[in-house]
Each structure stands twice: as structure tokens, then as C-alpha cells.
A and B are shown apart, each in its own frame.
Chain A
Amino acid sequence: MDPGILHRAFLFGAAGLCLFLGLVLGAPALLAFALAVLLLTALARGTARRRLSRLHAYRRLAPGAFEDEEVRVEIALENRGRGPVSLVELTDSFGAALAERKAFLDALPLRPGRRHRMAYRTACTRLWGVYTVGPLTVSVSDPLGLFSPRRVLPDIQPFDLFPRVHPVGGLERLGARASFVPSDPTAARAGQSAAYFGVRDFRAGDDVRRIHWPATARHHHPMVKEFELDLTPYFTLFLDLERSQRAGTGRKSTLEYVVRTGASLLASAARRGDTVQLFAEGRAPTVVPPGRGELHLACALDRLIRVRQDGVLPLVDLVRREEAALPRASTVALLTATLFIDTGRLAEVFAFLRARRIRPVLVAVDMDSFLPVTRSARPRDAVEAQAEELRGLARAHDALIAVFGDEHDLPAELARPDWLEAA
């Protein structure tokens, strides 16, 4: 029990006893004592409430983090009253951690008109998703600790917890097209970048401004400078959110596998400098327009963790619908939650992509290996046969393919740098 309540009860009991004895035995000193004790408790209550009303607190933190990442939460506590306050207890609720409630104490005296900046660190120990931080509770006592009123500040912020991402090996060898715009990624082929590649003989049509005069003088015929090829890597991810392909629960579910794999692919592409875009069709469409950089990645992951498997549009249809958004010589990853996709139509899609020099990547999650939700699991023979057919199709169209199932420990598989290459 809160000691404040016990102490308060003791004082009230003492006052009551003195009041009773004073009245019964006619002792005015006891009556005066009882009234003084009651006055003291009333003043203590008023002081505690007044102190609390003058305290303000607010929080600052990053809007999101990756799983198991440590987050620093800054709390500012302000005293807008006229007297110093000490022993202010603050309780914050951080939903992304298993130990949700974070209580801490500002023991130092906070002078009027001053602000104390404090911070606590916490690890995001829950699984990916959208959580809340807050409300923030402030509590302060009167000097005797008899009353400890608390105020809940409606400072509730959403907090995005992204799945842990792993670098995907092999993406750096995927498609990219030549660009006139200087960019960081280049290829060791002759192109238009600012990176020097070498010197070669002059050919008809070469720009005379590129003639390398010292080499020309040495070789007695015109030589020109060559530069490396600037690339514009472009990565597009299609997610399969068909409702009929829900299977499994919690960490072993098709949604979990699709989202985790998608996050790793997006992060790897964005961090190597790709322009990334995302298409998915649940009940509502999820579209992340093309963009680059960490902020764009955060935006894409923010959309990714909000997807639900409640759509009706097959993945192949989604690709065909959005084919105008696929630039030539780029990379397209198809993330399907089942192996049983229409192989005829998939072959058409692959053919279309290869015709545009787009490198396809197919990541298939075997829904039949998970706990059935919408339909009973197919026989393993049929599943194996379908997986083989998909692999053959991928080989035929020079596509990369990876198949994940319940038997795979997804974080461990994704952590392998060559999972896409090995597949």
C-alpha cells in the first residue's frame, strides 16, 4: 500500500481520536490539536494539487525504429509555478517494448520557470507494427508525501516499429539503366559519368571536346577519354496481399514472411542508391511512389507495416495493371504468398519484363507449409512439383527465385547475404 495513504490515515485517525476525546472529556487543547492536524492535511492536499497543476511535460522521440533497436526518448519537464518542486515522478508508456511502462523520478529541485531535460533509453522488443507512445503521467506529492495526485497528459504519439532488415546479396548485380544524370552508382563500362574509365582511339561521332591531347601527341592519331557509365538503378516491389493466401499465425505466417522479406528487399535496394517503388493491393491500394534515400525508405516501410492480407487482386494482375510504371532496365521483385500462381500468366509477365530488359526476381512463400487458415494444406508432392515448375520458369526467363516456407527460420535466412543468389 502507498505509504502516503497510511500516513494520511494515521493523521486522520489521530485527528478523529483527539476530536472525540476533546469533545467527550472537554479538553479544548485536544480540539485545537485535531483542527490543526486537519488544517495540515488540507494544506498538504492543496499544495500537492497546486504543484501538479503548474507542471508540464512533453516528449520527443523518433517516429519509428527497427526491431531490437534502442530508442532514446527525451522528456522535458517544466515548472511554471512560483516555487521549486522536487521528487516529480514521470511514467511513460512505450508500447513497442515488452516492459511497457517506464517510470522515472526527477529528484533534483526544479526551480520556477525552469525546464529539466531528461531521457531514457529503451529497446524495441516487440514485433513490427504500429504502436503508441504515451500517455505521459506526471505525479508530485506535497512536502509530507500525504497526497500524490497524478495527471495524465494526453500526449500519445504513434510509433512505427519496422521489421529488422538484412542486406540482400546479389541485388547489386541486378538491372540498372544508363543515365545522363550524374549519380553515385556507376558501372565499369564506357558511359557518361564523371568517373574516368580510360583512353581509346577516336571514332567517328565522338565529341571533339573529349580528345585527350597528350595521348594524341604520343600516338600520332586522335585519342579520346572515356568515362564510366552512370546508372540509375530502379527497384520495384510487388506484394501479394490476396485474402485467400492467409496462412499461419504470429511469427509463422505468410503475412509475416511477406512483410519481412519485402522490408529487407526495399532496404537493400534503397541503401545501395536505388530508386524504389512499392505496389500492393489489399482492401485499399498501397502505393509508394518512386524515391530515393533513407527518408523515402522510412516512408515505404511505414506503408509496408500497415498492409493487411485482405485483397482480392492476384499478384500477376497487379503487375500487368502497373506495367506502365516499370522503367526499362530496372529490377522488379514479385513477392507472392503462395507457390500456386498461374504459371501461364506468370510466364507472360516474365516475358514482358525481359522484353523491356527488366530483371525479374520472384520470392515465393509456401503458404501450404503454414497452419491452414482459409483452406486446407495441399499435398507436399503437389507443392514440391509446383516449386520445381516455378524454378524452371525462372531459369527459362533468367529470373532469380527464392522459396520460403515454415521450415525456414526467416530472420536467419534473410541474414544470409546470399539467399537470393543461392536460390
Chain B
Amino acid sequence: MGAAERLDAARRVSLYLVSLVAAASADLAWRPPSPLRVLVQATVLALAVLLGGPLAEALSSVGGAGARRRARLVVFLLVPLPSLFALLTIWAAPRLAGEAAVVLVALQVGILLLADTLKLELLALANALVFVLGAAAGGGLPAAVALSGFLVLTGVFLALDHTARRLSLWPNLAPPPLGLVLKDAVRLLAAPVLLLVLALSVLPEQAPAAAEEGVGWLSASAAQRAEARRAYVWLVLVALAGAGLTMLSLRWFRGRGRDAPPLVEMAESHVEAEEVIEPPAFDDARYAPARGRVIRAYLRFLARAREAGFRLGTHLTPREIESRVRRPEGPLGFLTMLFMDARYGPDEPVAADVDRAEAASRAVCSSLRVLPRTARRALDVPSTRTPS
């Protein structure tokens, strides 16, 4: 399996996990916990994700782009209606919430089946959000798992989807490593998710919709809660197994024909070399590197001298500046001489002179004491034009 196929498979698996966590949480929030039901949900959703690809290929010859666009619009307009109706049912009549969750799972299966054909990934996320809202209405552990799980897995899906979409325009390019994409996404998601988990653990368990009807997580007995926790362990196991199986199946489906030549020849750019960026001072140099280093060493001394209270105008020659600053005599004289040779002389300074100039600049700078701004202003020295 190539890197691009791996990326696409990971994207589908993340969509599957969003659906599974959301659906299972809604189910566990409103119905007596059952690991078997979780297993069935996981299997059905995995089959929907797996069969979505072959179904898209089978339907690829049906209808043109315009017809697909119209069909997509119709689906986007119609599917949210039963979804919202189910959500209203959960909030208004919690006793029917279990049945509403089943309807939502059926809807999600349909969306996942057609996701590849009509590009319904966003609708799948929206339907999963309805699950999450339904689970949140139940409160407690399912609400916490659904909300935080939805945020994490949606983020991961968006990251993988973004990478896959970008690369679809340049199919010949090698994609970034999957690990790096996930690491970047997790780094961005960490703060919001941690804060959300913290808030959910601190905030009171409140489920207004279920409070009066005696159903849901808050009305459950201690035994039922323990069973629900056990179901969540099952959910984790099922999710891992389902993700692994989905990945393997996608690999089997997609692996065939991967050696076929690409249909589109993209004569675009590839990275030819990776280099270390030189220090920025070199890039900005007006002079050749050696000459520039000596001049910059002198400019550092000038900046420090100004900070030390010397008013050094642009009309001053290096010798005049030397006579004003005076100390330390040896390094200053040496630095001035090297600067004049580098700035006005015909020859490029040798490496040893560059090192000596920088050492002299360091010595002079360290001997000059920086004055506070107020003290600098108070110096009674005739003002000069600001040097450029």
C-alpha cells in the first residue's frame, strides 16, 4: 500500500470511528448497555465504510457531474430532516430516545454507503453530531465520551481529509508521513480537548431532558452504570478491531492495480534539495561575506557605543569615533583599522582578520557600560543627525 493509499484509508477509518463512537454513546446513553449491540453497530458501520468505495466505483458510470451535484444537494437538504426529528424526539420524549438512536444509526449507515459516491463526508459528520447531541442529552459518561471523542476524531478526520484533498491535485507527489499529519493534528487538538475533558469532569452531571422521565444515564442504577462502563471497554476493543479490519480491507481493495500508470501526468515541481539556511546576517549582507563580517562587527560596536551614551554622528570618521570612545585602546584601535581596511580597502579581509575583528568588537562592547535611556538623554552632548 502506498503512502497516499494509507492516508486515504486512515481518513476513512477516522470517519468510521467518529460514527462508531457517536452512535455507541447515544445508544449507551439511552438504552440498557449491551456489548453485543455495540458489536453489531461497529460491524454495520464498518461494512458501510468498506462497501462505500466499491459502490462508488459501480455507480461511477451512472449520471453525469450535474446529476451528481443535484443528487448531493437533495441528500444534503433531505437527510438532516429525519436527523433533526430524531434529535427533537430525544430531547422532547426521552422514552423514545433508544428508538431514535436506532433510526440515526440506520441513517448514518446510508450516508456512509453513499459518502464516496456523492461526497457526503460532511453530512456524516453532521449526523454524528446529532448522535453526540443526543448522547449529551443523556448526560454522564456517555455524554463526556461522545463530546470529547467527537472533537478528537473529527479533528483527526479533518486533518487527514485536508491532506488527501491537497494531494489529490498533485497525485505524483509523495505525501507527508501519516505520523506527522496525526502528530500535527493532535498537537492542535490537545489544548481544547484537555480543557473540555476538565470541564466535563468538573461540571455537574445535568440532563434536563431525561430528568423528569426516569430514563437515561442519570436514572440508571449502579449495576447498569457498571455494565455501561464494561460496554465502553468493549467499544474500545471493537473500535480498535474494526479500525484494523477496515484498514486491512481497504488495503486489499485499493492495493489492486496500484502499479497502473497515473492517468494524469503532472509535470509539477518536486523538492530537489534540502539545505540548511545560513545565518540571516549573511543573506542581508551588502558586502562579500568576509568584508561584511568585519563591517557588522564594527556596527555592533557603534550600536553599543550609542547605548553607552556616545553621540556618534554620521559625519564622524572612524578615527574621530576612536578618539571619542578612546577605551579600551588596543582592541578599539585594532577594530578601527580592520574596519577601515574592509570598508575602504581594495582587498577582501582574510579569515584571521575577520576573527580578530569580531574578537576586538566583543572586547570593546563588553567594556562599554550600557546607560539607561534617561541617563542617555541627560548627557549634555551636542545633538547630531541620526546616523543611518
B200 contact from A32, A106, A107, A120, Cβ within 8 A: A32
Q: Which residues of A contact B196 (CB under 8 A)?
A: 32-33, 36
Q: Can you name the residue of chain B whose Cβ is closest to the Cβ of A47? A: B188
B residues in contact with A63, CB < 8 Å: none
With contacts A4-B162, A29-B147 taken as known, whether A143 is within 8 angstroms of B270 at the C-beta atoms is no
Known: A104-B269, A105-B169, A116-B271. A37 touches B159 (CB 8 A): no
B168-189 interface code vs A (CB 8 A; 1 in, 0 out): 0110011111001100110111
Query: Which chain A residues numbered 39 to 94 have a C-beta less than 8 Å away from chain B?
Result: 39-40, 43-44, 47, 75, 78-80, 84, 86-87, 89
CA distance A33 to B158 in the complex (A): 17
Residues in A neighbouring B45, C-beta threshold 8 A? none
**Given the known A-B contacts A28-B203, A36-B193, are A21 and B133 also in contact in the complex, defined by CB atoms under 8 Å?**
yes
Check A43 against B191 for contact (C-beta < 8 Å): yes
Partner of A144, one of B129, B136, B188: B188
Query: Interface 1/0s, chain A 92-126, versus B by CB < 8 A?
Result: 00000000000111111111011111111100000
Query: How many whole Å from A43's CB to the nearest CB in chain B?
Result: 6
Cβ of A14 and Cβ of B144 under 8 Å apart? no
Contact of B203 with A113 in the complex, beta carbons under 8 Å: no
B182: shortest Cβ distance to chain A, in Å?
Answer: 9
- Distance to closest chain A CB from B123 (angstroms): 10
Beyond A7-B122, A25-B209, A87-B176, is A40–B269 a contact (Cβ under 8 Å)? no
A142 at the A/B interface (Cβ < 8 Å)?
Answer: yes
* Cα distance, A17 to B276, chains bound together (Å): 48
When the two chains form their complex, are residues A29 and B277 in contact, meaning their CB atoms are under 8 A apart?
no
Q: Is B136 a contact partner of A29 (Cβ separation < 8 A)?
A: yes
Mark contacts of B268-291 with chain A using CB atoms, 8 A cut-off: 1 yes-contact digit, 0 otherwise: 111111111100100000000000
Classify chain B's interface size: 35 or more
Distance in angstroms between the alpha carbons of A79 and B271 in the assembled complex? 14
Chain A interface bracket (under 10, 10 to 19, 20 to 34, 35 or more): 35 or more
Write out the residue numbers on chain A whose beta carbons fall within 8 Å of the beta carbon of B174: 107-108
- A47 and B177 CA atoms in complex are apart in Å by 20
Given the contacts A104-B170, A108-B176, A118-B272, A39 and B191 also touching, CB distance less than 8 Å: yes
Taking CB atoms and an 8 Å cut-off, the chain B residues in 143-170 that contact chain A are 143-144, 147, 151, 155, 158-159, 161-163, 165-167, 169-170
Question: Is A144 a contact of B166 with CB atoms below 8 Å?
Answer: no
Whether A30 lies near B159 (C-beta < 8 A) is: no
- Which residues of chain A are near B207, meaning CB under 8 Å? 27
Known: A115-B276, A144-B158. A109 touches B147 (CB 8 A): no
Which residues of chain B are near A80, meaning CB under 8 Å?
277, 280
